[in-house]
A and B are shown apart, each in its own frame.
Chain A
Amino acid sequence: MNMKRFLFLTVAFILFSTPLHAATLEEKVVEHTLKNGMKLLMVERHTSPTVSAWIRFRVGSVDERSDERGIAHLLEHMLFKGTTTLGTKDFAAEKPLLDSIEVTAQALMGEKAKREKSDSAKIAELEKQLAKLEADASKYVIKDEFFELYSKNGGTGYNAFTSRDGTTYLISLPANKLELWAAIESDRLQNAVLREFYTERSVVMEERRRSYDADPESKLWETFVAASFLTHPYGQPTIGWMSDIENLTRSKAEQFFHNYYAPNNAIVAIVGDINTKETIALVERYFGMIKPGKEMPPVTALEPKQSGERRIEMVAEAEPTVMIGFHKPGITTPDDYVFDVITMILGSGRTSRFYKKLVIETQLATEIGAFDAPGNRYPNLFVVSANPRAPHTVKEVEEAVLTELDLLKMAPVAERDLQRILNKIEYEEARRMGTNGGLARNLTEFEATTGSWRYMTENRAKIAKVTPADIQRVASTYFTRENRTVGFITKKGGDK
């Protein structure tokens, strides 16, 4: 070990680091690629004796076939259930039961799929058999052993999330416990067992009811995004529609797992109180022998050019809300940088145009925001979302928003507005290095969606090149009636 460097780190650990200048992200990130293609990104931060480890797989709901909708997310849940050695008392005894459960569950789904022509006696019998088999299998299960192991060792924030673009597994641990992460995660990647599948599928249905069905704004959002895409899978909700979830099987989830969960589709970020050399050795030791899988094929569906406004109404027991979307190109395209500027000018903070006009001046709305969604890897939407303030209507808010968009086409944006955006990005560059988890999240996200975490450091220079003329051109190109989808809630029993 390099002694001088070690002493410097030790001192830094005690006094909090006091370098002459704050190191930039470019200087701090250490990259390493394993022979099997797994990408490792590390940052040493010695503020506290903790470490955050994030694994991102380049597979999300956008990669599902139509009969697999919801599987990326359900699989994410299932990957908490253990392996051939963890989460089980005796896998050899458990396995035949799991196989019988799968046969029975598929027979049950097949019968239920006949809907009104199904045989209710047969359904009842299969349900009884399934319950019996599940009870038998559960005798071998050690419930949530991953969680239990991490917890006992002081792990926090053990979680995972699935988006259109990817699936991420995260944990923070005391810095001396990183080997536990390597052991569990490498085991999960190679030997996962999707036990308790059909109970967990019910949990996901409850998640769907909670996050979409019973929440009017989220339900509108789901409908609005689906209406915006005819062909591209970005239109499908990541969690799946209810009937999708009802027909997912463990076999499908296993197939999806084997197709996509391979080291060459994985990006790992480890940020915190680590030594990068030792961390590389640790990761090589636990993940190095895993065989690479297939290359991820890109999504081939191309959304046809929209040729007219789409309007989506949802009647609900809720006050009105409105969403306006325009198709636009995905991340790293030249116009996307222009959209970054437009999004900030229109929607970021108290100096944004929407806030100043609709919230303060005309007071048509109480809340208004602009963002892009539902993913980044493929062409997506620029979205404006607002809550009208009674007695003002969806229509009034919509007209006011469109007026602001037209203004962007007609008049060049002032230099000071552009400078304010660059100042904000400069601040964000510093701030996002302030927590292990936040930095690990950004590193994995941008490495996965843009091809390199350096997107974070190069973004400001790209945005600095955006001119007022670029903004006018992009606004005129994309903010058209033909390219627009509007979704809104009408209050049930209301007259608006």
Chain B
Amino acid sequence: MSRFLLLLFFLVSAVSSLYAADQQLANPRTMKFPALTFHIPKAERVLLDCGMPVYLLRDSELPIINMTAMIRVGSVYEPAAKSGLSGIVGSVMRSGGAGGVASEKMDDELEFMASSVESGIGSDMGTVSLTSLKKNFSRTLQIFGDVLLRPEFSAKRLEIARQHAVEGLRRQNDDPKEIAGREISRAIYAGHPLGNVATFDSVRSITRQDLLDFHRRYYRLDNMILAVSGDFERTALLKELNEVFRPVKYEAALLLPNIPQPKELLQGALLYGKKEVNQTVIRMGHLGLTKDSPDIYAVRLLDYILGGSFTSRLTMEIRTNQGLAYSVGSHFDIGRRFTGSFVAETETKAESTGKTIKLMKNIIAGLTKEPVSDDEISTARDYMINSFMFGFTTPASIVTQRARLEYYGYPDGYLEQYRDNIAKVTRGDILTIARKYLHPDAFKIVVIGDAAKFDLPLESLGKVRELDLKLNIPKP
């Protein structure tokens, strides 16, 4: 400890002497900076009496406590005929009353304390979160426990949630960007639960019993991880958590469905949806990789160079040099449980649609032909390594990140070795993984706009399949 203090003292005095000695204004291109030591903050991991792992990080800067439960559940567990079920479970857990407290009373009690408890289910994770002033934590925690474990799914609130889902479907083709986002995901994950979308029929078929069954199956103490940060007192907190999450004997062992990985057919497709707009929405992509691949570090650098920064190849050419778009980029969404995706996206005026699609494909293909430049890889590396500390700026983000790593089963030392792994990637590695993971000829391409105004007939880019955007609209 004392050695660490000394080190810091040295660093800070180095800063002040530098300022004192150098009264000249420095050149941003050649500027030197005082050293900065960054230690990755740790969170404490504790097991509750019931066996649930809890990550803790105390910080009393603000009189606030944050908490998140991560539950091993997700929309991938929905039967296709009940698409939309998990979203409704997540929302009605909170809105439909819990633990004997009716909806209206819970809303009133929480909002009077300025506390919040919210619940939701994504594709591969369910969360229930809490924020509260320290002084209201105990009562908020009880409500949190009720919402998580004892939701009542009031029939009235289920009906409202169902109506909202129906209204959402009715509105799902209003914004061209929303259409394109949905359709590229459906095309990439066709035949896999990740490619399923809710329909009027699937939403209408959902019953209260479906909600109860879905919740009972997954929301168990042996199927979740907690993360707590903020202004708590450790002993008192653990005592309270052990009371709220008392050990439970379950009749049956936890059984999680076995969902297969999506299959990549490497078969291109060109999907077109008609909207009478002056700008075309363009999305293209295919499957990518999972976090378990050793290629993820090279892919992170490739991402930055190709479409993940303001000076990336896609942005530089399509936006900065040619003024064809405001927003353009690409991203490997590295899958955690399932194979992730690669998607490139932009929007351009109808009259430059064909030109822009070709340009994007060419720029992406370029990465598979020649190694990136020394400048490109060193800028990407410097950015990744020097900005790493921004993943740890709030106690809540630190503790949630630790819990997520356990939730998704990242290897020990993942964070600690991250920067070294980034530093090791070579230009050759990037060329190799570009060839392995980028297949422009097999892109699913989604184009939403007004083809009559395009610069090229869409057919000149491939065989067009037109999307029926009325498909999901019920008769009034």
Contacts and interface: CB of A to CB of B under 8 A. Distances in A.
Interface of A: 1, 6-7, 10-11, 13-14, 16-19, 22, 45, 47-50, 86, 138, 143-144, 147-149, 151-156, 158, 172, 174-177, 179-180, 183-184, 186-187, 196, 198-207, 209-211, 213-217, 275, 278, 281-282, 285-286, 317-319, 349-351, 356, 359-360, 363, 366, 387, 389-391, 416, 419-420, 423-424, 426-428, 430-431, 433-436
15 contacts: A16-B59, A47-B395, A49-B389, A183-B27, A183-B31, A199-B323, A202-B323, A210-B279, A217-B175, A359-B160, A366-B163, A366-B167, A389-B164, A390-B167, A427-B133
Interface in B22-76: 23, 25-29, 31, 33-38, 41, 58-64
B259 interface: no
Contacts of B267: none
A387 B133 contact: no
B278 A214 contact: yes
B390 A156 contact: yes
Given A156-B387, A206-B324, A350-B111, 9 more contacts: A16-B58, A17-B60, A48-B389, A50-B389, A50-B390, A204-B326, A319-B170, A363-B160, A435-B393
A177 B348 CA distance: 37
Interface residues of B, number: 89
Contacts of A426: 114, 133
Interface stretch (B121-129, B213-221, B378-386, B434-442): B378-386
Interface in B319-356: 319-327, 347-349
B108 A351 contact: yes
B417 interface: no
A-B complex: 3 closest residue pairs judged by Cβ atoms: A154-B386, A202-B323, A427-B114
Nearest to B168: A366
Contact of B63 (A18, A318, A430, A436): A430
Contact of B394 (A14, A155, A435): A435
Contacts of A282: 19
B15 interface: yes
| A interface: dominant SS | helix
Contacts of B323: 198-203, 206
A184 B28 contact: yes
B327 A389 contact: no
Given A22-B62, A174-B386, A206-B323, A179 B26 contact: yes
B167 A47 contact: no
A366 B316 CA distance: 41
B373 to A, nearest CB: 13
Given A176-B15, A423-B113, A49 B38 contact: yes
Given A149-B29, A179-B33, A416-B112, A17 B61 contact: yes
A153 B231 contact: no
Interface in B236-292: 275-279, 281
A155 to B, nearest CB: 7
B414 interface: no
Interface stretch (B2-10, B145-153, B359-367, B424-432): B2-10
B389 to A, nearest CB: 6
B176 interface: yes
A47 B393 contact: yes
Contact of B171 (A45, A211, A318): A318
Given A143-B316, A154-B383, A423-B114, A16 B393 contact: no
A203 B325 contact: yes
B28 A199 contact: no
B310 interface: yes
Contacts of B310: 144, 147, 151, 158
B392 interface: yes
A151 B4 CA distance: 29
A455 to B, nearest CB: 20
A150 to B, nearest CB: 9
A154 B160 contact: no
A148 B23 contact: no
Nearest to B164: A366
B347 A419 contact: no
A14 B5 CA distance: 9
B311 interface: yes
Nearest to B66: A434
Interface in B124-168: 131, 133, 160, 163-164, 167-168
B277 to A, nearest CB: 4
Contacts of B322: 199
A58 B107 CA distance: 40
A420 B383 contact: no
B476 interface: yes
Contact of A213 (B167, B174, B277, B321): B277
B309 interface: yes
Contacts of B316: 143-144
Residue in A152, A187, A201, A391 with the greatest tally of chain B CB atoms within 10 Å? A152
B279 A214 contact: yes
Nearest to B347: A210
A278 B19 contact: yes
B16 A1 contact: yes
Nearest to A429: B62
B102 interface: no
B64 A434 contact: yes
Contact of B33 (A176, A203, A214, A391): A176
Given A48-B389, A149-B28, A214 B383 contact: no
Given A184-B28, A203-B319, A390-B476, A151 B61 contact: no
Contacts of A350: 95, 107, 111
B389 A10 contact: no
A434 B108 CA distance: 26
Contacts of A147: 309-311
B405 interface: no
A196 B322 CA distance: 10
Contact of A148 (B37, B164, B177, B311): B311
Contacts of A144: 310-311, 316, 320
Nearest to B11: A176
B36 A49 contact: yes
A470 to B, nearest CB: 22
A86 B26 CA distance: 13
Nearest to A365: B167
A143 B60 contact: no
Nearest to A431: B64
Interface in B188-220: none
Contacts of B393: 47-48, 50, 435-436
A210 B326 contact: yes
